């Protein structure tokens, strides 16, 4: 009976496809990400080997990455670059597993796996990422809000600052328009007409009325006091007509 069982186990072992790992060093640390070459026989090239990625074989070895198979000129086997993690210290140099319905054995030469003290929740053997995000989601939300607040606050500050500066600019222009005390001041105001209109378009019509009076005397060689007084009277009318438009500042 024992002999039959031994024959059955041995038969299964030989029927499994044999994959071999070749490590650049004869020592690795448990839990470390290690590079290796996987040697694949011709009989196993049709296996969906990419399914090994993310797979844990016998709670011993975890396949992080696996490159496509390549065959060197004249070689009888295929090779692939892989990255693995020893989740525990293996007792043998063979680890059984499955790819789909196919049985496989992953073998390697003599290798020393140095055990390390790693908290269980940090081992990738559980195949569950540490639940740091779940346990600390409130902190993460707080940090996200804290990081996002400065930008809208800056935009608000910039908007308020622009409005404040714009209001100061308009008030300065308004005071300039209302500060004429002589005929020459009115002439200087008229010369800057086009610098005022973009900000105060309501001045356009009153300026035309002011110009009608101003142009009667402006181009004479000499202006009499009565003519200057007439211009100042027209300017006062100009101020009265434009006062309403300044109230929205």
Q: Give per-residue pLDDT as tens, 142-187.
A: 777 777 777 777 777 788 888 888 888 988 888 999 999 999 999 9
pLDDT at 5 over 60: no
38-77: pLDDT as tens digits: 999 988 888 898 989 988 998 899 999 999 988 888 888 9
pLDDT at 8 over 50: no
215-239: pLDDT as tens digits: 888 888 888 999 989 999 999 999 9
- Mean pLDDT over each residue of the chain, to the nearest integer: 83
Q: Can you give the pLDDT at residue 21?
A: 93
Q: Can you give the pLDDT at residue 199?
A: 87
**C-alpha to C-alpha distance for 229 and 99, rounded to whole angstroms:** 105
Q: Can you give the pLDDT at residue 232?
A: 92
Q: Can you give the pLDDT at residue 148?
A: 74
Rounded mean pLDDT, 115-125: 59
Strand order, beta sheet including 77-86: 56-57, 61-66, 77-86, 33-41, 17-22, 102-108, 94-99
pLDDT at 209 over 80: yes
Which of 235, 234, 231 minimizes the C-alpha distance to 223?
A: 231
Q: Can you give the pLDDT at residue 133?
A: 57
pLDDT at 126 over 70: no
pLDDT at 78 over 70: yes
Q: Can you give the pLDDT at residue 13?
A: 47
Rounded mean pLDDT, 138-144: 74
Q: How many CB atoms lie within 10 A of CB 171?
A: 12
For 140-153, b where at least 16 C-beta lie within 10 A, e where not — what string?
eeeeeeeeeeeeee
pLDDT at 128 over 60: no
CA 52, 55, 56, 57 dihedral sign is negative
pLDDT at 81 over 60: yes
Whole-structure pTM value:
0.44
**Is residue 8 within 8 Å of residue 49, measured between CB atoms?**
no
Pick the more confident residue, 79 or 126. 79
183-206: pLDDT as tens digits: 999 999 989 989 989 988 998 989
């Amino acid at each position: 009976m024992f002999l039959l069982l031994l024959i059955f186990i041995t038969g299964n072992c030989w029927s499994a496809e044999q994959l071999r790992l070749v490590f650049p060093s004869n020592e690795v640390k448990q839990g470390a990400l290690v590079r290796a070459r996987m040697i694949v026989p011709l009989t196993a090239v049709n296996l969906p080997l990419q399914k090994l990625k993310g797979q844990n074989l016998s709670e011993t070895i975890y396949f992080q990455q696996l490159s496509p198979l390549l065959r060197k000129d004249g070689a009888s086997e295929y090779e692939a670059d892989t990255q693995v993690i020893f989740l525990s210290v293996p007792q043998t140099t063979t680890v059984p597993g499955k790819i789909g319905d196919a049985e496989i054995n992953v073998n390697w030469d003599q290798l020393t796996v140095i055990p390390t003290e790693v908290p269980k929740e940090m081992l990738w053997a559980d195949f569950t990422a540490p639940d740091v995000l779940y346990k600390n989601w409130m902190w993460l939300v707080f940090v996200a809000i804290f990081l996002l607040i400065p930008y809208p606050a800056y935009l608000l500050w910039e908007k308020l600052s622009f409005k404040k500066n714009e209001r100061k600019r308009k008030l300065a222009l308004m005071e300039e328009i209302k500060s004429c005390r002589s005929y020459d001041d009115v002439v200087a105001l008229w010369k800057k007409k086009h610098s005022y209109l973009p900000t105060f378009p309501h001045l356009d019509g009153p300026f035309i009325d002011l110009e009608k009076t101003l142009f009667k005397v402006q181009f004479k060689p000499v202006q009499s006091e009565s003519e200057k007084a007439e211009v100042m009277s027209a300017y006062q009318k100009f101020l009265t007509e434009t006062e309403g438009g300044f109230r929205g500042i």
